[in-house]
Amino acid sequence: ATHDTPLWERTQLAPLPPAPPVQQIAKMEPETFFHWLGQLMHDNPPAREHVAHVAQFAAFGLTMRQGFAPDTLDAETRDGAAKGYHAAMATLREGAGRPAGVPMNGWNCAPAAGEWQDRFMTRAIIALRSLGQNTVEESIYLNAMTDGTGQALDGRKEYRLRFAAGSLPPAQCFWSITAYTEEAFLVPNALNRCSIGSRDAGLHFDPDGSIAFHFSAQKPATPEALANWLPVPPSGPFRLSLRLYIPSSAAINGDWVPPGLEQIT
């Protein structure tokens, strides 16, 4: 007798993609985190000027040579290391949720981005919040969680950002504005438009040379506003990131300041 092969045997199942690194770390137990930290320290030894800092880790069983050795610790030390880990992660999460840098019309810009030297807390917060940052000569990042009056951005409302003639972000390569959800994800939308900026064709300029960008969950009613529209989440907090690549000296030294967002509904 012959038998048909069951469908489940003919189905090729693709493995689920791994969770983002930030989510993987958030779910780690302290000893797992210290294990991987020890492995990374062994594979990527710290710079000479940081060896003294790393040597302090030996107090709770973590060394460059042997990695993490929890079995060598007494119960009190292991418990203290775990409590320290949880306290440190809470501090980093709190720092990652705060606007960073100098406030300007509702935008925040970190003036020394990419150059942190021994500011280990700042390094860790940046690693938790984003993939990293370039130096200001390469790019400038400005983030807005509020409008120009200091009110938190809300997806239920509509906002406008107007640049006067000749005052667009001074970037020698390009500039862009990207919308993110409260959880730092891109905003799904029918246009598949996650950012808007100097590389976009068809932007609408007003007769006086100014340009107004629109940020809302609802599609604008006019073709002019639609050309300059960036969708945002339908409700709740969100943020905008304005990026300038190879910024001019005016952007680096603060002579150019972005206008604030206006709530229009």
> pLDDT tens-digit profile of 175-227?
999 999 998 889 999 999 999 999 999 999 999 999 999 999 999 999 999 99
Q: What is the mean pLDDT of the chain?
A: 90
Same domain assignment for residues 61 and 106: no
d(CA 31, CA 85): 9
Q: Which of 199, 237, 197 is nearest to 217 (CA)?
A: 237
**pLDDT surpassing 60 at residue 1:** no
Same domain assignment for residues 244 and 206: yes
Same domain assignment for residues 141 and 257: yes
Concatenating the DSSP letter of every residue in 111-124 gives TTTT--TT-HHHHH
pLDDT band at 62 (very low <50, low <70, confident <90, very high): very high
What is the rounded average pLDDT of the residues 151-162?
98
Q: Is residue 14 part of a domain?
A: no
Q: Is residue 8 part of a domain?
A: no
Q: Is residue 13 part of a domain?
A: no
d(CA 104, CA 38): 41
Q: How far does Cα 122 stand from its chain's mean position?
A: 14
d(CA 175, CA 144): 15
Could you tell me the residue range of the domain that residue 84 belongs to? Answer: 21-96
Q: What is the pTM of this model?
A: 0.73
Same domain assignment for residues 176 and 239: yes
Quickly list H helices, the chain.
7-10, 21-26, 30-43, 51-55, 75-96, 120-129, 223-227, 249-253
pLDDT band at 101 (very low <50, low <70, confident <90, very high): confident
Q: Which residues pair with 243 in a beta bridge?
A: 141, 176
d(CA 221, CA 155): 17
